[in-house]
Chain A
Amino acid sequence: MKRVLGLCVLSIALACLGAAAEEPILGGTLRMGVVQDVSTFDPHVYAGAVYCQVQMNVYDQLIGVATNGDFAPQLALSWETEDSQVYVLHLRNGVRFSNGNDFTSADVVYSFERILNPEIAASRREAMSQIEKVEAVDSLTVKITLKQPNALFLGTLALYGCTMVDKEWAEAGGDFTREMMGTGPFMLSTYEKGVRYSFVRNPNYWESGKPYLDGYTVVFIQNATARMNALRNKEADFVDFVPWQEMSALRYQGFTITPSLSTAMFVRLNTTRPPLDNKLVRQALNYAIDRELLNFLAWGGFGEPLKAGLIPEGTSYYSEDLERWEYDPGKAITLLAEAGYKPEDISLVLESMDWVGHSDSATIIQEQLSSLGIRVKLTIQPIPLIAEKRQTGDYLMLIDGQKPTSPDPDFYTNWFHSSLGGQYAVGTGFSLPELDRLLEEGRTVSDPAEREAIYRAVETLLLDEAPWIFLQYRPDGEATANSVKGYVGLPGVLALYNQAYLENVWLSK
């Protein structure tokens, strides 16, 4: 019932949108300038932010996200479950891959098999390991049985990496790492790794009338100045990762900025190493940081300082009464005294990668803690080492910026669950059995009021335990020329997918 209602709302909204906006024009090639290349074309391996432009526009998933953040049908038209353990999905009819092969349930079964194959190193293998079996009921119906009930399973299917591929093409020897064969709006045309990719319209695309564009090109421009200049000089219609310093200037020059606050900045603390093994010390560190000043100095004031945990303000799971991180050096010193320390007794090592986005904030934090009397040594490390330390936990303090994996507060599991938290807890040995229990419970419950209560408890625990110094959401953004229409900024952490929907983009004259 909720599903049908959702679809009605979606279609009415889309109709209104269509009536109010200008008429899309067919044709044209969108030129995009982006920072970093993907290391492989494999649709099941997320290997860089450009995955959204590349893989997500050539391939489709069963379920996607709509502009308001709800689920949107892609290759699955409808779905139902009775017990949150067995899911039945009804596939869209008449879908073909760009080589003409039909898309059927056999492809769905094969795609899940591929994701679960350890050799592929798929990004969603761990997430999909909760699947017991995937069966093709008939050519357009698939039944997925989980090992245990999970109310969030559909949300996981909508995350990147759950891509549908062509079984026939794969078994005939298709190389996923160097070639692409999907049901999506575009096809790969020519490419030179690290330089330029060209995509053209897929004539077999299932959504009639789309894509509007004849194609698009992706050019890699690592240097931020060169990238912004390309936009200014009309060599590119779209650029990503706009430095905050350029946002006002670009707006003034008439370009459209799509801002996003989807990357959280925080300092990881190793709770097994003294003096950070005492939670009072960790709380003290949180009160010793002036987040407003940090946001202003490092991000021009364009970011959003955190007042509590990572759940964004304005969302239904946010609790105002949990807000607490005011800049309070007095309280910090009191907490330290309770733990038995004077600020001068404490000597810390803060590690950061050698990119100004992190190292600037790290320097400011070092300064703020030093002003209290705490000695902080700042160590700058190369990027591959930081990527490794994220998992091995080999640090005392590490400043980091990562996106929550989903809009649902279940994203805390990825960091803080003692065995499922591969991005933080597993490496550093952080373990809170009560938190584990709450996070696991949150996955089995679907009633919104119950879930809000559960995640309220989660945040209460986390804020008290303070395994991190919670800093802020940092400003990122894309910039587009005025001729680019239909490019939508998705809300919150979904902004990651902004560039995955190029079938909605068109170029005005």
Chain B
Amino acid sequence: MLRYILRRLTAGVLSILIASFVIFFLIHLLPGNPAYAVLGGLQGAPTAEQVAVVTKRLALDKPILVQYGMWLGRLLHLDLGTSFVQNVELSQEIPKRFLRTMGLAIPALVIGALSGVALGMLSATRRGRMPDLVLTVLSLVGYSMPSFVVGAFLIILFSLHLKMFPTSGYTELAAGLGPFLRAHALPVITLALAPLAMTLRLTRSCTLETLAADYVRTARAKGVRESAVVLKHGLRSSLTPIVTSIGMMAGRMLGGSIIVESLFNWPGLGVYTLQAVSTHDYPVIQAVALVLAILFISLNMLVDVACGLLDPRITYS
């Protein structure tokens, strides 16, 4: 068992090292010197001299293997580096931005999933009638409409017309719970619509399937209350595919958040990475890619070890 864990650990660390290598070299293949972005990008008009000095300062003139070595050395000290363009320490900036993105993604997923399940069951139990028809249409719209359309519409209605929420921007908790929640409201709703729609449809079909089963007919014949039939017997069985799909949607939340972050000017990780790519801010791209890679590889490692503990036969390979 111990050998198995050690093997998995070694494989994990090796994967992270290979990932860091690939990330570093792929990014440095991008044409264009990042020094220009540091000197104002297209708004600046730097002299060749300025560019040379900044290139040297950022160690971009050194051979690529040396730069890789320097980066690896900093990583071993848990230093994610410094952004070229913003001159901030990434070990502080990236967790901060990650939390802000999670501040949208997690509530969106939770709200989307919970309401999706509830509305899906409602839709299934009122099949063919008005609630079902309305919800089915809404779920279709929520599933097909791009998030920037939904977001723009929400801004026009709730921000510009009804003045209930700000049109964009992040407000810290320190500024008050009210402003904090109001700033989160529209982006979370925009992000929650897709998971809500998908969960609704899935729950509806799973519930319908389950409610047609024999054991449900038996329960009804026994005289069990309808609500107990639906919730205790129906929901339990449909839960497995729903939970699996929610797991998959969680992965997609990170990607979907880029559009919402951009529209609502939300200073999160998605939009940060996008800006870093367009300005060739190497340290940021490297750090974000590496952090996500480590997260993914570590989770996989944990799952492997857990599976090994649950079923020792796996450890013999």
Contacts and interface: CB of A to CB of B under 8 A. Distances in A.
Contact of A178 (B87, B159, B160, B166): B87
A194 B272 contact: yes
B48 A422 contact: yes
Interface in A382-412: 382-388, 391, 402-403, 405
B167 A48 contact: no
A360 to B, nearest CB: 16
B113 interface: no
Contacts of A121: 39, 49-50, 53-54, 57
B205 interface: no
Interface stretch (A104-112, A228-236, A483-491): A228-236
Interface string B53-76: 110010000000000000000000
Contact of A229 (B41, B87, B160): B160
Interface in A183-203: 192-195
A118 B48 contact: no
B42 A125 contact: no
A382 B37 CA distance: 12
Given A126-B47, A195-B170, A388-B36, A382 B278 contact: yes
Nearest to A129: B49
Contact of B46 (A123, A235, A385): A123
A190 to B, nearest CB: 11
A404 to B, nearest CB: 10
B40 interface: yes
Interface-centre pick from B50, B88, B267 (highest chain A CB count, 10 A) = B50
A383 B42 contact: yes
Contacts of B279: 383-384
A422 B47 contact: yes
Interface in A265-306: none
Given A123-B46, A221-B168, A229-B159, A383 B262 contact: no
A45 interface: yes
A335 interface: no
Interface string B161-176: 0010011111000000
A36 interface: yes
Contacts of B93: 193
A388 B32 contact: yes
Given A178-B87, A388-B33, A223 B262 contact: yes
A235 B34 contact: no
Interface residues of B, number: 50
A235 B159 CA distance: 11
A226 B160 CA distance: 11
A60 interface: no
A99 interface: no
A233 B166 contact: yes
B38 interface: yes
A195 B264 CA distance: 13
Contacts of B44: 46-48, 123
A222 interface: yes
A426 interface: yes
Nearest to A232: B160
B87 A193 contact: yes
Interface string A106-143: 00000000000011111101100000000000000000
B49 A387 contact: no
B273 to A, nearest CB: 12
A223 to B, nearest CB: 6
Contacts of A46: 39-40, 44
A383 B86 CA distance: 17
A156 interface: no
A193 B88 contact: yes
Nearest to B46: A123
Given A118-B49, A123-B46, A385-B31, A40 B87 contact: yes
Contacts of A387: 32-33, 36-37, 41-42
Contact of B38 (A39, A235, A423): A39
Nearest to B57: A121
Interface-centre pick from B42, B45, B48 (highest chain A CB count, 10 A) = B42
B152 to A, nearest CB: 7
A118 B54 CA distance: 10
Contact of A426 (B48, B51, B88, B160): B48
Nearest to B261: A223
Nearest to B55: A121
Interface in B113-168: 152, 155, 159-160, 163, 166-168
B265 interface: yes
Nearest to B279: A384
A36 B206 CA distance: 49
Contacts of B267: 192, 194-195
Contacts of A223: 168, 262-263, 265
A36 B41 CA distance: 10
Contact of B49 (A125, A221, A385, A403): A125
A47 B38 contact: yes
B160 A230 contact: no
Given A121-B54, A383-B278, A49 B155 contact: no
A25 to B, nearest CB: 26
A72 B37 CA distance: 32
8 contacts: A39-B37, A222-B262, A222-B275, A226-B168, A230-B167, A384-B31, A384-B32, A384-B280
Nearest 10 CB-CB pairs, A to B?
A: A384-B32, A387-B36, A385-B32, A121-B53, A229-B167, A226-B168, A121-B50, A384-B280, A193-B86, A47-B40
Interface of A: 36-40, 45-49, 51, 118-123, 125-126, 177-178, 192-195, 219-223, 225-226, 229-230, 232-233, 235, 353, 382-388, 391, 402-403, 405, 414, 422-423, 426
Given A47-B44, A226-B263, A383-B279, 5 more contacts: A40-B87, A123-B46, A123-B47, A391-B51, A426-B48
